[in-house]
């Protein structure tokens, strides 16, 4: 995560939440709460390091009826102040433009899933605040 002048944003909290691969949230009002994945938290939090980097290890999210394009929600916090709420979409997993505010927003919010070995995928996003 970088500031507009390209300096790293250090110590910023990134809070994520998402569905499991079957499109279920861990939320009392979502369907299928009796079929949640035991090993999966469905949410997480990371803090940016000295380079502004942060990371999560997770599953590729599924889709659900209201939002059929898989995505991961996130909020960015600094000193307890919420700076941004957004989501990440993945190229090849639906048309993000159907969900985003505009085609331009969808392009900014979409990243690639690239093979990372051992059946894993990697995705990177750049956040400038
Ligand atoms: Fe969602």
Helices (H), 69-128: 103-109
Looking up tokens 């279920």 gives 24
How far is ligand 1, taken at its centre, from the CA of residue 7, in Å?
Answer: 30
- State which residues form the domain around 110: 13-122
pLDDT of residue 121: 97
Tell me how far CA of residue 27 lies from CA of 30, 56, 82, 99, 126, in angstroms: 5, 20, 22, 21, 28
Rounded average pLDDT over 10-16: 98
In a domain, 127, yes or no: no
How far is ligand 1, taken at its centre, from the CA of residue 123, in Å?
Answer: 18
How far is ligand 1, taken at its centre, from the CA of residue 72, in Å?
Answer: 7
How far is ligand 1, taken at its centre, from the CA of residue 104, in Å?
Answer: 19
CATH of the domain at 112: 2.60.130.10
**What's the predicted TM-score (pTM) here?**
0.94
Count up the domains in the chain and report the number: 1
pLDDT-based confidence at residue 81 (cuts at 50, 70, 90): very high
In a domain, 6, yes or no: no
Contact 91, 112 (CB under 8 A): yes
Rounded average pLDDT over 39-64: 97
In a domain, 3, yes or no: no
How far is ligand 1, taken at its centre, from the CA of residue 5, in Å?
Answer: 31
How far is ligand 1, taken at its centre, from the CA of residue 3, in Å?
Answer: 27
In a domain, 129, yes or no: no
Neighbours of 26 (CB within 10 A): 16
């Amino acid at each position: 995560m970088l500031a507009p002048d390209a300096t790293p944003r250090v110590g910023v909290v990134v809070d994520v939440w998402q569905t499991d691969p079957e499109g279920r949230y861990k939320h009392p009002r979502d369907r299928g709460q009796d079929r949640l994945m035991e090993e999966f938290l469905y949410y997480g939090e990371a803090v940016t390091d000295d380079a502004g980097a942060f990371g999560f290890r997770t599953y590729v999210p599924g889709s659900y009826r209201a939002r059929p394009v898989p995505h991961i929600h996130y909020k960015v916090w600094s000193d307890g102040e919420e700076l941004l709420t957004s989501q990440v979409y993945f190229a090849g997993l639906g048309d993000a433009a159907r969900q985003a505010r505009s085609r331009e927003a969808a392009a900014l919010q979409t990243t690639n899933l690239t093979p990372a070995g051992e059946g894993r995928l990697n995705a990177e996003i750049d956040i400038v605040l």
